[in-house]
Chain A
Amino acid sequence: MAGVAVSTTINGDHVEYLCQPDETLLEVLRDRLGLTGAKEGCGTGDCGACSVIVDDRLVCSCLVLGAEAEGRQVETIEGMAHGEKLHPLQQKFLEHAALQCGICTPGFLIAAKDLLAKNPDPTEEEIRFGLAGNLCRCTGYDKIVRAVQDAAGVMRG
């Protein structure tokens, strides 16, 4: 298989890589670029643990080919905090203990960031529907919903 040369932007940084045609963006992020925040839960777009934002669209990076990132803007969990300063969603997930094992957390944070960018003041129902593509087997979701509500308030100022 011939490699595909890709030139893209990840978390604001210009990045170039070679990948195989059937390699997913998730595999590229984790195995070629060392960005291991996005997790592989199912690999089939059901669990949301690999969520990233590509050109302002929330996607499962397991359902995107690495080759498709050419010329796009990719945002991953690694770009969420500013240095040592956590994003309000990250801070509120900590304060509300909205995680246990943590595998789903990067995906939830990215999905919640995308949700609040499009709807800064969501109802509980909108949050639950908005995050329905992210599975968590630990928390029962309630603490996650509370953390997102609280963060939304902080971000609205």
Chain B
Amino acid sequence: MRYIRPLTIEDAVGQLVGASGTAAILAGGSDLLVRMKGGFVEPDLIIDIKAIDALSEIRETAEGFSIGAAVPCAVLGENKALRQAWPGVVEAAKLIGSKQVQGRCTIVGNLCNASPAADSVPAMVAAGAKAVVAGPSGKRTIAVESVPTAPGRTSLAKGEIIEAILLDKREPRAGDAYLRFIPRTEMDIAVVSAGVNLTLDEAGVVKTARVALGAAAPTVLLVEEAAEVLVGSRLDEATLERLAKVCAGACRPIDDKRGTIEFRRKVAGVLAGRAATTAYERAGGK
């Protein structure tokens, strides 16, 4: 086993491409070190990406925000501009683990770990976030929802690293929210979760919507039919009932000790409605 700390993304990609055996990217380590400890992975090469300067920054650009792959979730919560623009993404990132874990864990790590129950992922998908992928043939930008392909699996090819997450600049009258169900108050993994992102017109009618569900299928679900229910509405009771029904129908959950299929379907609908209501209020709707 070797540990290296490249200074550029090009070097990191080169090391990853040239690695014989298994290589692992280390940012926060809150998944990787647990899996190493449990004997589930034994990488031949650990590539610590935290010395690559650009990866530890949140940049505000003309297009919006660029969040580097090594930025811990605690730093997201401390960024006022990001909190104001994307409160749903930030609240989801802040739900991951304890203070200790918050100081290390990253949203890119959460995405690449590819757990169906990842908290930040439905919020990013609802937000329409993009991932910047650096690889041997250059860079490409892809939708966050196209990264996880199955529990623990991603669409990234050998040699590819996600270097940043992009969030759009906010239009006026826009809001997002994320909620999860856990049987306690914190320090737990979502039994089921929902992220909703809305923009409103001047009259307070929903103009655009994105609804994403977590822990409801092998990968995060972007429920387009649920967005269609919300567009054109002011989130009246009948709309929220239809939203709940559509979300419950879109789920393909598993039965396990944490929740039954029936429970997950029902709660997915309830959480989608509540997250939509909060997103609507954050967008200035009444």
Whether A45 pairs with B100 at a CB distance below 8 angstroms is: yes
Whether B98 pairs with A133 at a CB distance below 8 angstroms is: yes
* Cα-based distance from A134 to B100 in the complex (angstroms): 9
Known A-B contacts A4-B3, A63-B30, A65-B46; the reply to A22 vs B36 at CB < 8 A is yes
Instruction: Name the distance in Å between B182's Cβ and chain A's nearest Cβ.
Output: 12
Whether B1 pairs with A1 at a CB distance below 8 angstroms is: yes
Whether B3 pairs with A67 at a CB distance below 8 angstroms is: yes
* Cα-based distance from A114 to B102 in the complex (angstroms): 13
Known A-B contacts A2-B2, A21-B3; the reply to A48 vs B46 at CB < 8 A is no
For A22, list chain B residues within 8 Å (CB).
1, 36, 46
Q: Which of A10-18, A52-60, A89-97, A148-156 lies on the face that meets chain B?
A: A52-60
Whether A59 pairs with B5 at a CB distance below 8 angstroms is: no
Whether B30 pairs with A133 at a CB distance below 8 angstroms is: no
Measured CB to CB, the nearest residue on chain B to A110 is B100
Whether B100 pairs with A68 at a CB distance below 8 angstroms is: no
Known A-B contacts A22-B36, A44-B37, A45-B30; the reply to A59 vs B46 at CB < 8 A is no
**Is B186 at the interface (CB under 8 A from chain A)?**
yes
* Cα-based distance from A134 to B187 in the complex (angstroms): 10
**Is A103 at the interface (CB under 8 A from chain B)?**
no
Whether B100 pairs with A59 at a CB distance below 8 angstroms is: yes
Known A-B contacts A21-B46, A45-B101, A58-B99; the reply to A65 vs B29 at CB < 8 A is yes
For B74, list chain A residues within 8 Å (CB).
57
In-complex Cβ contact of A59 among B36, B104, B186 (8 A): B104
- Contacting A at CB under 8 A, from B30-51, are 30, 33-34, 36-38, 46, 48, 50
Whether A63 pairs with B34 at a CB distance below 8 angstroms is: yes
**Is B204 at the interface (CB under 8 A from chain A)?**
no
In-complex Cβ contact of A64 among B5, B29, B72, B187 (8 A): B29
For A45, list chain B residues within 8 Å (CB).
30, 33-34, 97-98, 100-101
Whether A58 pairs with B3 at a CB distance below 8 angstroms is: no
For A48, list chain B residues within 8 Å (CB).
98, 100
**Is A80 at the interface (CB under 8 A from chain B)?**
no
In-complex Cβ contact of B33 among A20, A54, A65, A133 (8 A): A65
Q: Which residues of B does A touch, CB under 8 Å? A: 1-3, 5, 26, 28-30, 33-34, 36-38, 46, 48, 50, 72, 74, 97-101, 103-104, 186-187
Q: Which residues of A does B touch, CB under 8 Å? A: 1-2, 4, 20-22, 24, 43-46, 48, 51, 54, 57-60, 62-65, 67-68, 70, 111, 114-115, 129-134
Instruction: Give the top 3 A-B pairs by smallest Cβ distance, nearest first.
Output: A133-B98, A57-B103, A21-B3
10 additional A-B pairs beyond A64-B29, A65-B26, beta carbons within 8 Å, are A1-B2, A22-B46, A48-B100, A57-B103, A59-B103, A64-B33, A65-B33, A68-B48, A133-B101, A134-B98
